[in-house]
Chains A and B, each alone.
Chain A
Amino acid sequence: MLRFLRPNFPEHLSDEQLLVDYVGGNSPRALGMLYERYMPMVYGVCVKILKDSGKAEDAVMAIYEELTRKVKEHEIESFRGWLYVLARNHCLMEWRKAQRRPTDHHAPEDMVHYDAIEPVFEYELPQGTSALERCLAELSELQRTCVTWFYYEDKSYKEIADQLSEELGKVRSFIQNGKRNLKICIEKNS
């Protein structure tokens, strides 16, 4: 009777428990709950490989469908790792299929890794300073401002966007592109 009164909080159940519940047939919704935990990460991987947020969204749902079939067919030890492989493979396959009608020639393996911490900040000040200063000067004004404010004045994206009256997305873009240009410039000069 008391167990009956206990509310069902799926958030406290482990991945493996939810999986067992689903495969066992007791809890048809358990898989959805489980997938929802990883959904943003699966989405991120899909965006990386498919290079399109709309296609990534559709891919996430398609992977879910594949999941509903495959969990019953396979013995899964670690759901997280297995899901990662499933998601990657699905997106790579979809990417290759799309390549039959070539629109874009990058292979996902060639994709640039977006480093959050640029090596430039690892350079010792004495040598790096002049190169850094010179390269900063070579950035566009907006890129330079955003990079300076973000890295040297510790401002947040929102603060920068408000002060410059720019869109948030644009600020992110300026910072990322600015950083990349700095990296290229500094590598050229050393």
Chain B
Amino acid sequence: MITKSPNTQINHKMSTNPYHDDKRLLELLERWQSGDFTRADEQELQSLADSDDFRREAVEGFWSLPETDHSQHLSALRQRLRQQSGHGKRAFFPQLFMAAAAVLLLVLAVVWLIPSGEKTATLAQQETAPAAPAAEQPIASNLPEMKSSEPEASRGKTSPALDKMSRSVVADNQPTGLFESGPAASDAATEVASSPPAPIQNQGGAVMDEVVVSMPPARQSDTEMAQNASEEVDMIQGNSAPRAKAQKEYADASKAKDAMKKKAPALANESAPAEGWAGFQDYLRKNARLTEAARQNNITGKVRVRFQLDSNNQPVNFQIVQSLGYGCDEEAIRLIKAYSWQRGKTAEVTVDVPFNR
């Protein structure tokens, strides 16, 4: 028997603030994509789409290609966007590290001062130098986590307690993954700041008495400071076993950090400009000029060029994917050739060269 499907307006809050409705739309689209989607969801999606033009056209876009895996594109886009804008990585990192270091200082001062009265405040201070690499580890080893869109990928480096904590924070905060922008990494890293005792145990135990380490000047970079400290400690104590493990972990983490400082191609599979996309865009903005012929014909727009990077990072094999004509195509190629590039795992690059003036 065919029953009439209820044509009722779904009872949900249509708030005047579009942000909540947009968020709900993205949640529903994520379910539409993943398959966990029913008739009722479709009705709700329809109401949300009907109430706003931006939402309506967005939904129509997804719906026009029902067999495409849009989540792949969205995931790629998030990566591309973060690469270009630089956010999602270190935005909060320096603050967090300072915060962690400050808390560590306090904790250590308490731990070492209270038990034995003989230990002086200065010794406690010196402990902070070897403590710094310990702080580095859990934070730094969270960096690979931030980079990928799968924050729950396992990393064997952090202590299990910390790992569990960051994973539970991540799970709570990212219910719908790709369709929504993620706070995951920032929350995981916050947890690090507020729970220093766990990782410290490993390190604090190893470096106890007879440590004569001069407090490095505050202005040194994170990397240098911790490395100096750990080197000096090694020399004085000859304490190899736990330190060596820490060294290796720290070295891996700092390598990841340095790679991220360089903005990227080292971590990404894609080829990219040697100094990052932002620099390249800037360079194009400053140097891309319409040819005389184009200007006379009132032509503006962009040239899309595909090319490859050879083993010397030189751009070769140019293809004009989208032409502007009037000599601008050649000019785009010239501009690309004049810039320095870094080849990634995939040698092919496609760039847009805008000509607006």
Interface residues of chain A, those whose CB is within 8 Å of chain B, are 4-11, 15, 28-33, 35-49, 51, 53-54, 56-58, 60-62, 64-65, 68-69, 80-81, 84, 88, 97, 111, 113-117, 121-122, 125, 129, 132-133, 150-152, 154-158, 161, 167-173, 176
Find out whether the CB atom of B68 lies under 8 angstroms from the CB atom of A43.
Answer: no
CA A46 to CA B54, docked complex, whole Å: 11
Q: Which of B1-23 contact A (CB under 8 A)?
A: 2-5, 7, 18-19, 22
Find out whether the CB atom of B96 lies under 8 angstroms from the CB atom of A7.
Answer: yes
CA A47 to CA B63, docked complex, whole Å: 9
Interface with A: B34-42, B117-125, B253-261, which one?
B34-42
Find out whether the CB atom of A57 lies under 8 angstroms from the CB atom of B54.
Answer: no
B326 at the interface (CB under 8 A from A): no
Find out whether the CB atom of A176 lies under 8 angstroms from the CB atom of B4.
Answer: no
Find out whether the CB atom of A152 lies under 8 angstroms from the CB atom of B70.
Answer: no
- Chain A residue at minimal CB-CB distance from B56: A113
B203 at the interface (CB under 8 A from A): no
Find out whether the CB atom of B91 lies under 8 angstroms from the CB atom of A44.
Answer: no
CA A159 to CA B91, docked complex, whole Å: 42
CA A46 to CA B70, docked complex, whole Å: 12
**Would you give the 0/1 interface string for B309-320, flagging 1 where the beta carbon is closer than 8 Å to chain A?**
000000000000
Interface residues of chain B, those whose CB is within 8 Å of chain A, are 2-5, 7, 18-19, 22, 25-26, 29, 32, 34-40, 42-43, 45-46, 49, 53-55, 57-70, 73-74, 76-78, 80-82, 84-88, 91-92, 95-96, 98-99, 102, 179-181, 183, 186, 189-190, 193, 281, 285, 301-302, 322, 350, 352, 354
A–B complex contacts, Cβ < 8 Å, 26 sampled: A8-B92, A28-B86, A29-B86, A29-B91, A39-B81, A41-B58, A43-B70, A43-B74, A44-B58, A48-B60, A53-B70, A53-B73, A54-B73, A56-B61, A57-B76, A57-B77, A61-B77, A61-B81, A81-B54, A111-B60, A117-B42, A155-B38, A156-B36, A169-B66, A172-B67, A176-B66
Q: Label chain A's interface by main secondary structure.
A: helix
Find out whether the CB atom of A48 lies under 8 angstroms from the CB atom of B7.
Answer: no
Query: Which of B42, B45, B54, B99 has the most chain A CB within a 10 Å cutoff?
Result: B54
Find out whether the CB atom of A39 lies under 8 angstroms from the CB atom of B181.
Answer: yes
Q: Which of A113, A121, A158 contacts B35 (CB 8 A)?
A: A158
Find out whether the CB atom of B43 lies under 8 angstroms from the CB atom of A116.
Answer: yes
Kindly list the 5 A-B residue pairs having the minimum CB-CB distance in the complex, ordered from nearest. A32-B85, A44-B58, A158-B35, A169-B67, A29-B87
B86 to chain A, nearest CB (A): 5
Find out whether the CB atom of B73 lies under 8 angstroms from the CB atom of A151.
Answer: no
B41 to chain A, nearest CB (A): 8
Chain B residues, Cβ within 8 Å of A132 = 2
A28 to chain B, nearest CB (A): 7
Chain A residues, Cβ within 8 Å of B62 = 44, 47
Find out whether the CB atom of A44 lies under 8 angstroms from the CB atom of B60.
Answer: yes
B149 to chain A, nearest CB (A): 12
Chain B residues, Cβ within 8 Å of A97 = 301, 322
